[in-house]
Amino acid sequence: MFKSIQAKVNAIITVVLVLVFLFFSFFLDAKLRENAWQQKIKQAQLLYQQLSFLKTYIGKHRGIWIKNPKGDDFILKEGNFGRKNTSIVLGDLSEQAVGNDMYNFKVVSPNPIKKRNKADAFETQALMQFKTKGTDTEIYKIDKKDKVLRYIKPMITKEFCIKCHPEYTVGDINGGISITIPIQDTLKEIRSSRIYFGIFGISTLIIVLVSLILILSNIVTKPIKQLTDRAEKISTCDISISTATEREDEIGALSNAIERLRISIKKLMK
């Protein structure tokens, strides 16, 4: 199939470069996706941390008082003020976050009193895993179908929680904070980066391949072809052209060997 050395070497160089290109493409793509997901996970972790700080602050102050309370969503009403505990406040905030294009969250519980705290399939499975994996567990998944990151981490019962929930035990896991973050922007970023790296990689591959082929042709293939032509002339007793060279590599050694042969034939012809 490949009769000339040039064709064989070109084929080998092409295969090697393509394999290297594919390897680094897969490697860079994996790192790109990993970094993108890690950024979203850190965003979810930060939001969970902020909500935990808020939960602790409200809990230590035994809730927040609201002037002119409306509705029954209060644990206590005194005069023109009503008090809400941590769970109610976080629940209200989660409803306010609905429709936010940055994130959504909710407080979920195995035995919710309110419908808004009911866990879906992902959250239910996570709550079950919390019982065996411990309080530091965080569970997340990339849902490419719905284009969201699902993240959930347990809510740990603190001492201030017992004031409103005497049935709880300090240190127990009685629910979790579930966070949903859209990832459409991340998916678009990954696709754009793939296109950019693809164009850059293919362009670089072509440039390197062409450069190596030209270098190989000028350094090896052409000199060998020239020596072949001169050897052919010597075989027909045309010894007028010298093949001497100052090259010190293998091509130079071959050229000088042919040159010595030419001189020897020239002497014999005299």
Whether pLDDT at 99 is above 70: yes
149: confidence class by pLDDT, cuts 50, 70, 90:
very high
Euclidean distance between CA atoms 267 and 270, whole angstroms = 5
CATH of domain 48-185: 3.30.450
pTM (predicted TM-score): 0.68
Average pLDDT of the chain is 81
Q: How far is CA 105 from CA 25, 49, 130, 152, 154, in A?
A: 36, 13, 18, 9, 13
Give the pLDDT score at 270: 64
Stretch 233-258: mean pLDDT: 73
Per-residue pLDDT reduced to its tens digit, 117-147: 888 889 889 888 888 887 788 999 998 888 8
Work out the percent of the chain whose per-residue pLDDT is above 70. Answer: 96
Q: Provide the 3-class DSSP secondary structure of residue 75.
A: coil
Euclidean distance between CA atoms 180 and 188, whole angstroms = 18
Highest mean pLDDT: which of 85-94, 183-192, 249-258? Answer: 183-192
Whether pLDDT at 1 is above 60: no
Could you tell me the residue ranges of all domains in the chain? 48-185
